[in-house]
Chains A and B, each alone.
Chain A
Amino acid sequence: MATKRKRPASKATAPDPASSDSAGPDSAAHVSTGADELYAAALERGGDALTTGRFLMTFKEGAADAGVKALQSRSGLRVAHARDFKDQAVVMAEAAGADAIVFPEINVALLGGAAAATHGLTAEMSMAADDPFHSVDPEYFVFATGVNPSDYMRGVLHTAQMIVRDLGWEEEGGAALAEVGVEVAGVTWGLTACRVPPSSRDGSGIQVAVLDTGFDLGHPEFAGRAITSQTFVGQPVQDLHGHGTHTTGTACGPNAPAGAVQRYGVAFRAKIFSGKVLTNAGNGTQAQSLAGINWAIANKCAVISMSLGAKAGVQPSYTSAGQAALNAGCLIVAAAGNSGPGPTEAPANSPTIMSVAAVDINLKQAPFSCVGKVEISGPGVNVFSSFPRPGLHTTMSGTSMATPHVAGCAALWAQTSANLRGPTLRAKLISTAKALPFPATKVGAGLV
């Protein structure tokens, strides 16, 4: 899904230009530049990457020809015309020498970023009453559902390569990028480290609750999946933050995402229960998280994943909720916290809740990971997973990312036996963890 199409965006559907901080011209954004390249450049520019760096000039009705003449005479632009192409089927790449392309049927001209900057043809230009055009607006990327997600990955990789080149890391970074390229077609390092790919289990029949910022319910890689959702924060479940979509993806994402996207989800056939206990701004209250736990237990979820924490001592309410969960055959796993080397945060510090630390690709404890009460560790540095549209994927770090690895693995174990629930599931995870050469206060029993 997602990403860009170089078709001129309709003004009616384009986002408010004022909301974009990257709506300026980009001298590299020629009319012939491909969408991938434009998008990679937009990502490099920063901001919200909604605009291409090119502009769209809208002519007044019946004034297209006059507009073209005005452009050519007043500004000296090299103007290509859609009529120059057979059936007006414009091939952008064939307009390499042009500064602008005119689409007479819709009274619009596309302006390259360099030409727009040179001639002052930007959204800020003032129009005279007798000008043949109405306005000049930034061109926006169009994000359509059903687009191959590999388009996005290509853009990301391309951007990464450019950044590495710019920073002079060519030699060292080149090797790293080559590894990324390989990963694109395989699985994430986290799933590999957790020995997920060889498993014949997929989480079928297991209900996994993720209590977080919600989920992108329209994410194309989850189409057809059983998703039950509930909000506890007064906002729709639809995730406008991204955190919840990422953690849900790790726990329950697809086995084989479309295109050249690496596998990032553990229990890919588990039934997802998405409880929104954190707002789109990323905050929530203890009462909201308790309400989420209550909901998940009432719905007979075998696993609850909580990638959240507060710097507080042991909370009796969480301890009690964790015990209620265990009694009901449900296991709560929670992030140890990212204030390391500070102590484990709540709710993970409750004895009835499984605390998850984060390790990196070298299986070393992440420096941000809290210490003290830690039961187990999971991959938590540079974790690739799902993200709300249009991005579809991103890489994040934190004990938040380690936690859903454990939740997903718990679902796989739960699938193997109906007897592995609650306390026995917890014991199984601990007994099968891969021992790591670090104190248990940092990594618990080891890697899930």
Chain B
Amino acid sequence: MPVKKTATKKKTAKKTMATKRPTAAGSPTEAMVVIANGDRAMDEIARDLHAAGFQVGDVLEAIGQVTGHAPANLKSRLKKIRGVQDVTGAHEDFDIGPPGAPVS
């Protein structure tokens, strides 16, 4: 766990939703986590997410989630996909600091 110094904070903040990156079409995306409701197979959900424009990262069967990226304005559409319970943005990156930090 980081004791974040100001400089580190700034750096982290940049990365944060700087998980935003452009899609092929040019619109910025952000890191998202899709939580499944358990009523449908994960690979089917992932397939539909992909078809809807979600860039699938990992399909996490054991916890019923799919990580990836999508434009923020796609969130409500993704939530309507069958088997999806929730779609959330990812928090800023972890940063425990460099080796040798006084508290971690």
Measured CB to CB, the residues of A under 8 A from B are 213, 240-243, 277-278, 281-287, 289-291, 293-295, 297-298, 307-312, 315-317, 320-321, 324-325, 328, 335-339, 345-346, 368, 396-401
Contacts and interface: CB of A to CB of B under 8 A. Distances in A.
Contact of A291 (B1, B31, B35, B67): B67
Nearest to B88: A316
B98 A337 contact: no
Given A282-B96, A321-B63, A400 B104 contact: yes
Given A287-B90, A294-B60, A317-B33, A338 B67 contact: no
B51 interface: no
25 contacts: A242-B100, A243-B99, A282-B95, A285-B93, A286-B67, A286-B90, A286-B94, A290-B33, A290-B63, A293-B63, A294-B62, A298-B61, A307-B96, A309-B1, A311-B4, A312-B91, A317-B33, A324-B62, A324-B64, A325-B63, A336-B1, A338-B103, A398-B1, A398-B3, A398-B104
B interface, by DSSP: helix, strand, loop or mixed? mixed
A398 B101 CA distance: 10
A294 B99 contact: no
A interface, by DSSP: helix, strand, loop or mixed? mixed
B60 A284 contact: no
Which of B4, B68, B88, B96 has the most chain A CB atoms closer than 10 A to its own CB? B96
B48 interface: no
Contacts of B19: 285
Interface of B: 1-4, 12, 15, 19, 31, 33, 35, 57-58, 60-65, 67-68, 85-86, 88, 90-104
Contacts of B86: 316, 320
Nearest to B101: A282
B96 A400 contact: yes
